[in-house]
A = this chain, B = another copy of it.
Amino acid sequence: MARGFDVVRRATVADDPRQIEDALRHASGQARLVVTTGGTGVGPRDVTPEATRAVCDRLLEGVAEMMRSEGRRETPMAVLSRGICGTRGTSLILNLPGNPAGAVSSLRAALPVLPHALELLSGKTEHESHGSHENSSNRTEPGPHAHAKRAAAASARGKVRRS
């Protein structure tokens, strides 16, 4: 599921908020898109959303809503995912469930909007961009820009996968 993204780094960390935060800070310095898997559930050791919130500047609630509402088409249990999507500087951090089917479903839901979100994050404006509802308005830079270079780090799993 590369889809125009290069995976630049992978990392696996324990269910520890501090370790997850450190991994997210590190990864978001290396990549524009940081994707986590796991730790988004209701269990006592599911702490990825909290760690993500702690390192993000802003949240994109609509992306999390969309992952859940798309997930519900497959299983109602998808609503229990607490995964979020947020920005850190010009990077995006996206939490996916640890369950492979749920992770694929969530990523498939979010993927179509990620390139545009990354463009806007880097200060590119609507006039230079395509068919969005969001108007980041008339900024200084005129004319079309090439798509931002994208790099994805499938980093900072919320938990050690032993399987």
Q: Spell out A's residues near B (CB within 8 Å).
A: 15, 38-46, 50, 58-66, 68-69, 71-72, 74-82, 87, 97-102, 105-106, 112-113, 116-117, 120-121, 123-126, 131-139, 159-163
Contact = CB atoms under 8 A, between A and B. Distances in A.
A40 B105 CA distance: 27
- Overall SS of chain A's interface: loop
- This protein's copies in its complex: 3
Nearest to A131: B75
Contacts of A68: 62, 65-66
A121 B82 contact: no
A79 B62 contact: yes
A41 B120 contact: yes
